Chain A
Amino acid sequence: MSDSQALISRSLRRNPWAPRTLFSNVMTGLAIACAVIAIIPLVAVLLYVLINGVSRLDLNLFTQVQPPPRVENGGLGNALQGTFYTVGIATLLAVPFGVMAAVFLSEFVRDTRLARWIGFATNVLSGVPSIVAGTFIYSAIVLTTKTFSAFSGGVALAILMLPVIVRTATEALELVPSELRQASVGLGATRFQTVAGVVLPAALPGIVTGVMLSVARAAGETAPVLFTALGWPTWIQSIWQQANTLSLLVYKFATAPYPNQQQLAWAGSLLLVLLVLVTNILARFVIRRRH
């Protein structure tokens, strides 16, 4: 390093054309390019969905049933109904199940081998392909009840929601300061009273956030309802009937040749994307307020 003296005397600044610095700058450029490339599809999807979907975003979209081929107008009313039913059933099943499991993991066996094993299984469960969950429910419920139904669709969605709820609820519960629990126990509360009266309320915002995110995800899932809820062209009267969901209808109408149905597929996508956007932004708001 004979010229280092000279370099320092000139300036501490690096010569932008020195190979090392040049390499650094090029790499920085590449990293920026990666970020831009990653954002492009998001912007493109959002824009296209908005542009193509917004023209049908009116009251009819919510009150009319899906149009048959070659019939103009119509809406997504029955699909929205089906989505409410299936996601509602999934929520009713997965939330109590998941929160109870989370209570056990965070309150009673935290940091034990059992907790790690169950946590592990939960993560693996969240990696099970959604279509496999669909085949499972087909075999377990559709074949035994002998009918496709909104109910079986809801159970299939519950399988996908469950690990998300267990994980987010466990995290939320573990963030509750242990002083609260000690104070509760100190006042003579039972474990049940501590959990129900102190810990759960304190963790509620976090749990609700997780539930919201998993509801949004479930509403967009198609594969699990493909051969459980199957589809139904109009309003349904009970959860034991076949049902369409928003996601199912987007799939069917996207691959149909009729412009009216294709427009509704975009409008349905817009609803799904709005749901995702709203829940994610709300969730972010809740999380930020907590920290």
Chain B
Amino acid sequence: MALSNQQVTEIKRARSPLARQLDSGFVWLTGMFAVGVALVLVAIAVRVGWEALPAIQQFGAGFLTSSRWDPVEDIYGALPQIYGTLVSSLIALLIAMPIGIGVAIFLSEDFLPNKIQRPIVFMVELLAAIPSVVYGLWGIFVLIPILRNMGVALNAGLGWIPLFSTRPTGPGMYVAGVILAIMILPIIAAISRDALVAVPPELRQASYGLGATRWETLFKVILPAAFSGIVGGIMLAMGRAMGETMATTMVIGNANKINPSLFDQGSTIASLLANQFAEASGLQISSLMYAAFVLFLITLIVNVLAELVVRRVRMKV
């Protein structure tokens, strides 16, 4: 600071009391907006939780372990949807994790001249900007026919494995997993790349100096150093995959069931909401709110943990 505190105070004293009050009023105003951002988060939790209350009182924790979703008898449980949310996100992670980290390594090392590397970074980022509903449309008309044929072959050859035990007919958990993988790949790639670039260059130089190859250096020095950042990125991606709605709803098959076969149809909490919310009433709507609350909590926990991990990495940068 060029001015000492005393000088600043003197300048302030020179002003009329009204001007001073207006000025601190401005600071307060901006402060209210800033706190308001955090309050939105609280408001979501309180409001959704409040609407869910009748269902919470009726079903309690049993809601999480029951797989009945029966509007005729007014009995609700969201186990298949919780299962579907977790499984579709897991498939997505299993596909996107190795590829995303691979991309991050490729784009953080000096494999390519900057001129070529930058457009590729841009293209991977674009992948995250394409609207979910466009992925859904593409999924229905392009991806499903391709994946179905691959799935039929897998089922014919490896049908004895429970994961492939039903014959794919079109939409299903596997399509949702693949679409989600495409959607979260850029998150994993971008955050992992940040983490890799943030590793101090001295570590790399030391490793090279000891005679290690590029990949020995990567595996033994750089990746371990960037590990927590990569984990943070993966968790953020997981949070995103679990909350993703449109693309999933359009390709998952929307069936209320749990089947170990990935080729069978399923549903997620988000797709359940997208399908039934507009029609529901009474206990069904508070059960949907309950499901939304569960989704909110799961993603909140995942995001908070991810945020803590990523933040630690960013602090180091």
Contacts and interface: CB of A to CB of B under 8 A. Distances in A.
A123 B236 CA distance: 11
Interface in B7-44: 8, 11, 14-15, 19, 22-23, 26-27, 29-31, 33-38, 40-41, 43-44
B288 interface: yes
B136 A41 contact: no
Interface in A232-291: 247, 250-251, 254-255, 262, 265-266, 269, 272-273, 276-277, 280, 284
Contact of B134 (A20, A123, A128, A272): A272
Interface in A7-47: 14, 20-21, 23-24, 27-28, 30-35, 37-39, 41-42, 44-45
B122 interface: yes
A130 interface: yes
Contacts of B150: none
Interface string A217-229: 1011111001100
A135 B41 contact: no
B129 interface: yes
Contact of B37 (A30, A125, A254): A125
Interface string B293-309: 00110011011101100
A101 interface: yes
Interface string A157-186: 001001100100000000000000010011
Interface string A187-231: 010111001000000000000000001001101111100110010
Contact of A131 (B15, B131, B245): B245
A175 B86 CA distance: 40
Interface residues of A, number: 93
A188 B307 CA distance: 40
A24 B131 contact: no
B43 A136 contact: yes
B230 interface: no
Contacts of A20: 213, 216
A49 interface: yes
B35 A118 contact: yes
A127 B240 contact: yes
Contacts of A100: 29-30, 33-34
A103 B236 contact: no
B291 to A, nearest CB: 9
**Chain B residues touching A, range:** 35 or more
Nearest to A275: B131
Tell which of A120, A166, A216, A254 has the most Cβ of chain B within 10 Å: A254
A116 to B, nearest CB: 9
A45 B136 CA distance: 10
A186 B270 CA distance: 54
Contacts of A140: 43, 47
A21 B214 CA distance: 9
Contacts of A52: 141
Nearest to A276: B129
A68 interface: no
A27 B215 contact: yes
Contacts of A139: 47-48, 50-51, 289
A219 B43 CA distance: 24
B48 A35 contact: no
Pick from A38, A48, A273 the residue with the most CB of B within 10 Å: A38
B2 A130 contact: no
Nearest to A21: B213
Interface stretch (B56-64, B70-78, B103-111, B152-160): B103-111
A119 to B, nearest CB: 9
Contacts of B130: 42, 45, 220, 273, 276
Most buried by A among B30, B31, B213: B30
Interface of B: 1-3, 8, 11, 14-15, 19, 22-23, 26-27, 29-31, 33-38, 40-41, 43-44, 47-48, 50-51, 98-103, 105-107, 109, 111, 120, 122-127, 129-138, 140-142, 182, 185-186, 189, 213-216, 218, 236, 239-240, 242-246, 250, 270, 273-274, 277-278, 288-289, 292, 295-296, 299-300, 302-304, 306-307, 311
Given A35-B107, A222-B245, 6 more contacts: A34-B102, A42-B127, A130-B243, A131-B292, A135-B273, A190-B23
Interface of A: 14, 20-21, 23-24, 27-28, 30-35, 37-39, 41-42, 44-45, 48-49, 52, 97-98, 100-105, 107-109, 117-118, 120-125, 127-136, 138-140, 159, 162-163, 166, 182, 185-186, 188, 190-192, 195, 213, 216-217, 219-223, 226-227, 230, 247, 250-251, 254-255, 262, 265-266, 269, 272-273, 276-277, 280, 284
